[in-house]
Amino acid sequence: MASRLAALISKPQRWRVCRLAGTVRYRSTKQSVATGGSSQSDCTEDGLFTEEHLQLRSSLNKLIEKEINPYVDEWEEAKSFPAHEVFKKLGNAGFLGVNKPTEYGGLGLDFSYSMAAAEELGSINCGGIPMAVGVQSDMATPALSRFGSEELKRQFLEPSIKGDVVACLGVSEAGAGSDVASIKTTAVKKGGDYVINGSKMWITNGMQADWICLLVNTGQGPAHQNKSLICVPMDTKGVVRARKINKIGMWSSDTAELFFEDVRVPQKYLIGEEGMGFTYQMLQFQEERMLAIAATLLPLQKCIRETAKYTSERKAFGQPILNNQSVHFRLAELETEIELLRSLHYRCIAMFVQGHDVTKFASMGKLKAGRLAREVTDSCLQFWGGMGFTSEALISRFYRDFRLLSIGGGADEVMLSIICKYMNILPKVPMKKK
């Protein structure tokens, strides 16, 4: 199926680019068409996606509706989903390496196609599984794909794209979440190996993963220049999966605390150059944040759609709840905010594909997505009344799941600091006197 998809969407992109007020707007020269039962919103000629993007989304939607959504309730109840089984099905269809090189099993398409797939992952009826898939496709593997050696790509990237293995990303620690520069895990050279000691916290896929893209300190220099990314097989002696962490949301996605006790791996497992890990990880963060935005759009629209349906049927004081101006006006406001987020997100994707630095816009989008997710789920849950406070309603699951968006992948406050930095209004920290 992967080769068929690649052939289907391998035609040259048909873009006309026009510059208006310093921004880039994209217009497809071929009108987009509706595709099957896919749940994506309608795309006009002013949209980012072409017919080929929509075909990709339609194919993914069919897989989701057949292989994932029928089992989501069961996996949520079990607080875990069979990652190897699900990833293999996604890998066979080409969805774990949409923008990865064809020589390693990817589709070889540009990043906009990866974001089209990420947005369609939002049609899964929970937040945990899209997050787990995103770790595999857009968080643990971008640096490996860009900077890894041929041997590393064959050993770790190729099976990850094919869905033969499960990957995870090891950055956060108990004392270093959004403050990445403060991580304490070390990797010291001994002979031809690195010896790793330390711990990682809140690791998505950590209980099921076969390998981890691990950020460690490999030197004693400045915090932004002493870090490296290393591929570590999870069955290596000294890797300890200490516990599965219970969470208020994202139930079906396993989250682990990991320890590394004198873990030895060959120095050839280093991704790219030693000391460049912080920079590589910052690059990975941009893709992670855009993925998070993309996977949020459909669930938020589903919240509004399901709430409109419920309140049109549920009556109070002799009329449908939806008839109250405060209700239908509020849903209209929220729908408007979602479309504004979509526009910012699509602009960010277009700039990224052109090779521009999107740090500011990705941070803005991540900030807005996290805050809007809280606003939409809270407002909609309120209109469901007592039913919204039960686990039977999908809105309550989204309320739990998407609270993470303002914390994971860089907290709101970190996004604000990044934006302030690009605006040249972030106060400079005084240098300490020696």
Whether 288 is a known active-site residue: answer: yes
DSSP string, 130-153: HHHHHIIIIISSHHHHHH--HHHI
| Burial category of 123 from C-beta neighbours within 10 Å (exposed 0-12, middle 13-18, buried 19 and up) | buried
Determine the 3-state secondary structure of 222 from DSSP: coil
**Strands 193-204 and 211-217, bridge-based pairing:** unpaired
| Bridge partners, 125 (sequence order) | none
Which tokens hold the place of 122? 């939002």
| Burial category of 246 from C-beta neighbours within 10 Å (exposed 0-12, middle 13-18, buried 19 and up) | exposed
| Cα–Cα nearest to 106, from 147, 142, 81 | 142
DSSP string, 379-390: HHHHHHGGGGGS
| Bridge partners, 24 (sequence order) | 19
Q: Are 373 and 397 in contact (CB under 8 A)?
A: no
Only one residue has tokens 């787990």, namely 132
Only one residue has tokens 């994506």, namely 40
Determine the 3-state secondary structure of 118 from DSSP: helix
Which tokens hold the place of 171? 């950055």
For residue 406, the tally of other CB atoms under 10 A from its CB is 20
DSSP secondary-structure letter at 69?
G
Only one residue has tokens 């293999």, namely 88
Q: Of 76, 257, 274, 288, which one is the catalytic site residue?
A: 288
Measured between alpha carbons, how far is 400 from 318 in angstroms, rounded to an integer?
32
Only one residue has tokens 């209109």, namely 383
Q: What contacts 45, CB < 8 A, 6 or more positions away?
A: 27, 28, 31, 32
Residue type at 301 in one-letter notation: Q
Which tokens hold the place of 150? 């041929």
- Catalytic machinery residues: 288
